[in-house]
């Protein structure tokens, strides 16, 4: 969507250069700000950078009223950051969003798989033959063993897994690096894939510096979308509903299962690459809710009206 506001592009450049925003984040901000700029010009006859508080409130009332609270919050967040940028660059003296409250959001608990369900997925890939099976096994084992984001997983360089130390070296959001320990199954699966990787490249006529190369992809590595498709297929064979599966669900499973088995929150935060421990704390809520559900379902006094009276 083309935008009549010429100052959006410098703001997006700043997000990339100074804040290490990903390409996906940049695209989301570009779309949200272009949406707002188009409204301002069409309905309020003002460029976005000149909008006042009344203009912003009109935008929220007329354009965002039917949107989900999360969408409203995201688009308002884009505006806040844009106007703060303008103020910091002395392009305007005020922030028209400073008195506008974001919609209240219920905190959704992350979707995840049980340990039994993850093992069912691994069992399926273990039965797959050939190089494709070895590659998928390595990716699945690595994802569940380390909690990587899918973008981090597919773009791993060839030397990312340090076999002698049993760890994977990851460059995450904003270029921040972290080292995540791996269990033996993941290390063995990656080693088995690397043993046949050279023949895979030779047959396809491609040389790649990535751990999971691809001929079709412009990036040189297997795309997130392609891995997502493969994961759905594996899930179907494992008897899992496709809508329950995504690479991020396995990241959630990694964190949830660690917390279940007594891992401390700081360690999980470090392995996930969360900048703020508050982001990691959601997994303690998952464990608490599951415990509450267990009590509600199995404690003899949890729902006394439905229990038979004792003799």
Contact call for residues 111 and 220 (beta carbons, < 8 A): no
Give the full edge-to-edge strand order of the sheet including 161-162: 161-162, 167-171, 177-181
> What is the C-alpha to C-alpha distance for residues 232 and 220, in angstroms, rounded to an integer?
22
CA pair distance 191, 189, nearest whole angstrom: 5
Long-range CB pairs of 2-5 (<8 Å, 24+ gap) are: 2/34, 3/30, 3/33, 3/34, 3/37, 3/38, 3/48, 4/37, 4/38, 4/41, 4/47, 4/48, 5/33, 5/34, 5/37, 5/40, 5/47, 5/48, 5/49
Strand, coil or helix: 268: helix
H or E element, residue 269: helix 265-272
Positions annotated as catalytic residues are: 149, 173, 248, 251, 274, 283
Q: How far is residue 175 from each of residues 11, 26, 255, measured CA to CA in Å? A: 20, 15, 22
| Cα 168 from Cα 178, distance rounded (Å) | 8
Rounded Cα gap, residues 259 and 140, in angstroms: 20
CA dihedral 85, 89, 95, 96 (to 10 degrees): -80
Indicate the Cα dihedral angle 219, 225, 230, 232, nearest 10°: 170
Alpha-carbon radius of gyration of the chain: 24
């Amino acid at each position: 969507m083309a935008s009549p506001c010429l100052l959006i592009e410098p703001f997006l450049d700043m997000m990339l250069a100074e804040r290490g925003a990903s390409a996906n984040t940049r695209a989301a901000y570009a779309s949200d700000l272009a949406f707002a700029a188009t409204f301002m010009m069409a309905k309020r006859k003002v460029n976005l950078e000149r909008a006042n508080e009344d203009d912003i409130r009109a935008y929220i009332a007329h354009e965002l009223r039917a949107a989900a609270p999360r969408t409203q919050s995201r688009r308002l967040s884009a505006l806040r950051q844009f106007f703060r940028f303008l103020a910091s660059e002395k392009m305007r003296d005020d922030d028209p969003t400073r008195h506008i409250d974001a919609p209240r959001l219920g905190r959704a608990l992350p979707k995840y798989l049980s340990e039994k369900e993850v093992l069912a997925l691994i069992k399926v890939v273990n039965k797959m033959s050939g190089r494709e099976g070895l590659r998928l096994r390595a990716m699945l084992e690595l994802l569940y063993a380390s909690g990587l984001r899918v973008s981090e997983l597919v773009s791993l360089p060839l030397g990312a897994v340090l076999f002698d130390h049993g760890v994977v070296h990851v460059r995450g959001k904003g270029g921040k690096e972290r080292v995540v320990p791996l269990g033996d199954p993941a290390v063995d699966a990656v080693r088995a894939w690397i043993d046949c990787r050279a023949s895979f490249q030779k047959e396809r006529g491609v040389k790649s510096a990535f751990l999971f190369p691809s001929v079709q992809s412009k990036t040189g590595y297997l795309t997130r979308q392609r891995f997502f498709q493969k994961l759905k297929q594996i899930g179907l064979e494992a008897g899992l509903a496709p809508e329950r599966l995504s690479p991020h669900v396995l990241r959630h499973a990694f964190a949830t299962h660690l917390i279940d088995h007594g891992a401390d929150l700081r360690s999980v935060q470090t392995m996930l690459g969360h900048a703020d421990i508050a982001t990691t704390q959601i997994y303690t809520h998952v464990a608490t809710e599951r415990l509450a559900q267990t009590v509600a379902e199995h404690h003899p006094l949890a729902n006394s009206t439905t229990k038979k009276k004792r003799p």
